[in-house]
Amino acid sequence: MYEEPYRWVEAIGNRRQYLDDQLEEGAPVVGVAYERGILLMTMSKGTPKLYEIYDRLALGGMGHPADLEKLRFNLLEMAHVEGFNRSASDVTGSRLVKYGIAPVIKQAFEEVFKAPFIVKMLLAELGRKSGKDGFLTINYDGTFEEKRQYAVLAATPAAEQKMIEYVRKQSIGSLKDAVDAAIRTWAVGDRAQRPTLEDGEGHDEAKTGPDQSMTDVETLYAHLRRCIAEKTIECALLDHHVQGPSKYRTLGADELRTMLPADLNPSLTESC
């Protein structure tokens, strides 16, 4: 009888370890605010990881595609029911997360005899006024945080912290600035959660120090060139200047080509 709470705590610890292991190979997600709105960026191997949820809401995720798709559908349904029953202005990221998706994820995580969701999510929201844009990040245990200016997802808290430290230092005004900062921040996170990918990096770090090597621009672009052999860059925008109620649009391949170094362009497709 007295052992039951301890067994539950042990089971929760085991689930955390299991989920951390499952997310190790996931692609980070980066969200940054810029002068016209919000940019979401990630890389994928074919299955999209960026989605429109509602007029001013977009979703980025990492984890198991089936779990991400199920939660995306739940968010879509909640948003459109809320918009139909009340009004479009009542559909907010905070409301969807706090009273909708976070409790669902938390319940699945804590019911130790059922499968948890192998997923982390980033919800971006375009404010009604410029400068009011924001983000919410949701962990696999249902905990969430509200962010301004930027938000990230990665496999581990340590990798997320390195990404935050890097993007915090970037000066972002134009869309080109946002794309450049986001793709380099993505590389910081991907390298941090998989630090033994490249041969010879130990030699570079011995000369420059691990922290400097981790965020050196040339090193980051070299890592990106290795990644694009297998992955495709995904970029989506919530743009204040888009006409109509929906402010979501994908960043087209031709447009993205003008913002990236030429040797990264082979990773682009018309679905970007």
Domains of the chain: 4-267 (3.60.20.10)
Instruction: Note the pLDDT of residue 203.
Output: 40
Look at residue 207 and tell me whether its pLDDT is greater than 90. Answer: no
Strand pairing of 29-34 and 57-63?
unpaired
Look at residue 191 and tell me whether its pLDDT is greater than 60. Answer: yes
Least confident of 131-145, 175-189, 222-236, 253-267: 253-267
pLDDT tens digits along 77-116: 999 999 999 888 899 999 999 999 999 999 999 998 899 9
Opening angle at CA 53, ends 235 and 90, nearest 5:
130
Instruction: Note the pLDDT of residue 231.
Output: 87
DSSP string, 178-245: HHHHHHHHHHHHHHHHSTTSSTTHHHHHHHH-HHHHHH-HHHHHHHHHHHTTT-EEEEEEEETTSSSS
Measured distance CA(214)–CA(168) in Å, rounded: 15
Look at residue 119 and tell me whether its pLDDT is greater than 70. Answer: yes
Dihedral angle at the C-alpha atoms of 158, 159, 161, 167, nearest 10 degrees? 170
Q: pLDDT tier at 3 (50, 70, 90 boundaries)? A: low
Strand partners, 235: 41
Least confident of 32-46, 139-153, 219-233, 236-250: 219-233
- Total-model pTM: 0.88
Q: What residues have CB less than 8 Å from 14, skipping those under 6 apart?
A: none
Opening angle at CA 174, ends 124 and 271, nearest 5:
60
Question: Is there a contact between 259 and 178 (Cβ–Cβ < 8 Å)?
Answer: no
List C-alpha distances in Å: 242 to 18, 36, 232, 247, 249.
Answer: 42, 10, 25, 5, 8
Measured distance CA(200)–CA(207) in Å, rounded: 12
Gyration radius of the chain's alpha carbons: 19
Q: pLDDT tier at 267 (50, 70, 90 boundaries)? A: low
Instruction: Note the pLDDT of residue 217.
Output: 86
Q: What is the mean pLDDT of residues 179-184?
A: 95
Question: Is there a contact between 237 and 272 (Cβ–Cβ < 8 Å)?
Answer: no
Measured distance CA(75)–CA(139) in Å, rounded: 15
